[in-house]
Amino acid sequence: MIPLIDPKTEYVDLNTATPPLSEPRCLVGDIGGTHVRFGISAADGRVDRVRVLRCAEFSGPVEALHHYQQLEGLRLPRIACFGIANPVTGDDVAMTNHHWHFSVDALRRAFGLQRLLLVNDFTALALSLPLLRLDQRHVLGGGAALAGQAIGLIGPGTGLGVSGLVPVAHGYVPLQSEGGHVTLAARTRREAELLDGFRQRYDHVSAERVLSGPGLVVLHDVVRAIERQPPAALSSAEISARAIANACPYCVEALHHFCALLGTVAGDLALTIGARGGVYLGGGIIPQLGDFFVHSAFRQRFEDKGRFSAYLARVPTFVIDAPYAALSGAAAALKSPVRVGFDAVEQAQ
């Protein structure tokens, strides 16, 4: 028996406390660097009983899932898929942007699951894209998405997720990408100056080092340092809020460059995979920026590729407005015709 986080709480074996749920249903999860989300997916793709928990409040995914189970008071389905903000290369998982370190199969056995599939969180989010309703996305420039063409996906949050979908005979195959760690290039002299500030802190200035919540904090620090202003201890949310309110010129400049550089990287992604089916923007930051992002340099920089500017002008970009889309994508990953992530399966006796 594995205890709950609160040692004063009496453990209740919920696997025997309630009758089994009707199948086919599966347990789905989305493990980020800041939050973990769990839910139950039905056969029609609808996800309910969603709970959002803070990762920092739990020592690992076993404890977080026990807490979810206790909150919902249910018997878990025996099939599960979790997306995680991390490379998935085998059973042993050590998160890049969080301290959790665990075995996929040990997690499966802790809850008596028959199957636990672990995939990259943006692989899961990519699989949700064909399932989005029109009201779960809004377009930001470009032409019409072309059916049967590659689709790109990028999104800043605690890190920078990158993925996409490549068309095959009867649908799409998701990319299992770590494209957030490509080297970030400057487009302007000011950006070169800003990236030099990052190089004083990091040996490798990847896209994620800048285009993420922690990256926005450093970007704001660098802007202030260049302008010979004293540092200000602000979170990424505070920087965004002050920029949107036009209350701080250094926050405004930091968020301006954040959006512009994201446009550059998103345009690179579109060219790399030929994303004429569109490029989608996910993650936790962009949906919170509202009109600031709409009127930012993102779209102009997305198209700013010299001889291929006209090509990219026809590629639409979409902001995802579905907060739990990755959970639907996790359920879809269980049906993927190709291997994605790491599959821990109960061995026959």
pLDDT, tens digit, for every residue of 293-340?
999 999 999 999 999 999 999 999 999 999 899 999 999 999 887 888
- Cα–Cα distance for residue pair 79/238, rounded to 1 Å: 40
Statement: residue 11 has pLDDT above 80: no
Which helix (H) or strand (E) segment is 119 a member of?
strand 115-120
Statement: residue 288 has pLDDT above 80: yes
Are 21 and 77 in contact, with CB atoms under 8 Å apart? yes
- Cα–Cα distance for residue pair 19/179, rounded to 1 Å: 43
Provide the token pair at 302.
Answer: 């997305």
Q: What is the mean pLDDT of residues 11-34?
A: 60
Q: How far is CA 315 from CA 64, 174, 260, 303, in A?
A: 40, 19, 17, 9
pLDDT, tens digit, for every residue of 149-171?
999 999 999 999 999 999 988 88
**341 — alpha (psi -120 to 50), left (phi > 0) or beta?**
left
Provide the token pair at 185.
Answer: 């290039």
Statement: residue 246 has pLDDT above 70: yes
Model pLDDT, residue 349: 57
Statement: residue 14 has pLDDT above 70: no
Task: State if pTM tops 0.75.
Answer: yes
pLDDT, tens digit, for every residue of 175-217?
988 999 999 999 999 999 999 999 999 999 999 999 999 999 9
Provide the token pair at 276.
Answer: 């004429």
Model pLDDT, residue 21: 37
* pLDDT grade for 18, boundaries at 50, 70 and 90: very low
* pLDDT grade for 348, boundaries at 50, 70 and 90: low
Model pLDDT, residue 339: 83
- Cα–Cα distance for residue pair 231/253, rounded to 1 Å: 15
* pLDDT grade for 221, boundaries at 50, 70 and 90: very high
Statement: residue 3 has pLDDT above 60: no
**Phi, psi at residue 21, to the nearest 5°?**
-75, 150
Give me the domains of the chain, ranges plus CATH numbers: 14-126+326-345 (3.30.420.40), 133-321 (3.40.367.20)
Model pLDDT, residue 63: 97
Which one-letter DSSP state was computed for residue 327? H
Statement: residue 254 has pLDDT above 70: yes
Please name the residue ranges forming H helices in the chain.
Answer: 14-17, 61-72, 104-110, 121-128, 189-199, 207-210, 213-226, 236-244, 249-273, 291-294, 298-303, 309-313, 325-333
Nearest to 60 by CA among 84, 26, 90: 84
Provide the pairing of β-strand 160-168 with 317-320.
unpaired
* pLDDT grade for 22, boundaries at 50, 70 and 90: very low
- For residue 24, cis peptide bond before it (omega within 30 degrees of 0): yes
Provide the token pair at 170.
Answer: 């009867």
Q: What is the mean pLDDT of residues 15-36?
A: 69
Question: Is 22 exposed, middle or buried, given 0-12, 13-18 or 19+ CB atoms closer than 10 A?
Answer: exposed
Statement: residue 1 has pLDDT above 60: no
- Cα–Cα distance for residue pair 192/211, rounded to 1 Å: 15
Total count of residues recorded for the chain: 349
Q: What is the mean pLDDT of residues 88-106?
A: 93
Q: What's the whole-number average pLDDT of the chain?
A: 90
Q: Which long-range contacts (CB under 8 A, 24 or more apart) does 239-244 make?
A: 240/216, 240/285, 240/288, 240/289, 240/292, 243/292, 244/289, 244/290, 244/292
Model pLDDT, residue 43: 79
